[in-house]
Amino acid sequence: MTETTGKYADFEGLRERAVALRREGLSRRQIRDRLHVDNNDILNRLLQGEPAPEWTKRPNAKDDLREKARELRLQGMTYDQIQVELGCSKGSISSWVRDLPKPERKRTREESSAIGRRGWEAALQRRDTERQATKGRAADEVGEMTGRELFLLGVALYWAEGRAVLDRPYGGRPFSVRQDVPQDALPEDES
């Protein structure tokens, strides 16, 4: 066993002094300064098992909110309701009340699901109505198109689609309907 020499050679004597200072109500910093202990590990070992004086304990900033959140949860409120009431995050609320029992559901799962479904049905109905109105306005603006115009529009959309560029049979040269599309594939001119 090696013998400790130097500043901390009398560890037990130093510990007794540190504990006595702690019991007098001194903080860690005050003890460190009085005993000239520069190493926090040594200070931790010297004060091991000794509680901090009350005056050095900082209150948690949200202790009052924590207690209020626990009261509200015991009254049957959900995380969302507590969040609205207290104005703090759901994460904080969760960590404060997770050990408490969940409030009883006011609705069954089937009732909640039916309410959600009704909400989605209304949203989908509004969306479908908006789409139909948009299609109607576009059809009015574009007007009547011939078969050839529709065909050319389809060819242009296909050509502009990203993957079609890689599959061009004409080696990337400018597209020509008369050269690249068989004549019998072209619709009859409706004019």
Question: pLDDT by residue (tens digit) across 155-183?
Answer: 888 887 765 455 555 555 555 555 555 55
Name residue, tokens 């969940």.
102
Predicted local distance difference test score (pLDDT) of residue 148: 92
> Confidence band (pLDDT; 50, 70, 90) for 1?
very low
> Confidence band (pLDDT; 50, 70, 90) for 185?
low
Q: Which amino acid is at 86?
A: L
DSSP state, residue 190: -
User: Which tokens go with 154?
Assistant: 């389809």
Cβ neighbours around 120 below 10 Å, total: 10
pLDDT (average), residues 100-108: 81
What's the pTM value of the predicted model, to 2 decimals?
0.34
Predicted local distance difference test score (pLDDT) of residue 61: 62
Cβ neighbours around 101 below 10 Å, total: 9
Predicted local distance difference test score (pLDDT) of residue 20: 92
pLDDT (average), residues 19-29: 88
